[in-house]
Amino acid sequence: DSGVTQTPKHLITATGQRVTLRCSPRSGDLSVYWYQQSLDQGLQFLIQYYNGEERAKGNILERFSAQQFPDLHSELNLSSLELGDSALYFCASSVGKEKQFFGPGTRLTVL
């Protein structure tokens, strides 16, 4: 158990819908990262927050947004969903730039 929790574990939804994925980092970790893992693209970095502020942005679509709240949990919002958004979404946390601890992931299926 990494200490990072993600909910929900599985999510099935339809094209055009909007979903919210939630991540609670390990106690004391200020950095939260979101990653997407699809069959064709592998793991890709989406976005990073540090202590409530956006720190870095990767290959995140404009239809996707995220935030980190004062209690350090983070949410990833995916809207106008397309079939190609089906993937595993991982959250990871770390103390600064140190070793990252990954959550169990949320498997999103868009039908």
Partner 1 sequence: KNEVEQSPQNLTAQEGEFITINCSYSVGISALHWLQQHPGGGIVSLFMLSSGKKKHGRLIATINIQEKHSSLHITASHPRDSAVYICAVRSRGSQGNLIFGKGTKLSVKP
Residues between 34 and 53 with contacts to partner 1, criterion CB under 8 A: 35, 42-45, 48, 50
Does the footprint of partner 1 cover residue 102 (CB under 8 A)?
Answer: yes
CB 103 within 8 A of CB 5: yes
Does the footprint of partner 1 cover residue 77 (CB under 8 A)?
Answer: no
- Output the DSSP codes for 5-39: EEE-SEEEE-TT--EEEEEEPPTT--EEEEEEEET
How many residues at the interface with partner 1, by CB under 8 A? 27
| Span from 13-21, 69-77, 79-87, 94-102 in contact with partner 1 (CB under 8 A) | 94-102
Question: 73 — phi, psi (to 5°)?
Answer: -70, 160
**CA–CA separation, 51 and 43 (whole Å):** 24
Q: Which of 3, 8, 16, 58 binds partner 1 (CB under 8 A)?
A: 58
**CA–CA separation, 60 and 44 (whole Å):** 9
Q: Can you give the binding site for partner 1, defined by CB under 8 A? A: 2, 31, 33, 35, 42-45, 48, 50, 55-56, 58, 88, 90, 92, 94, 96-102, 104-105, 107
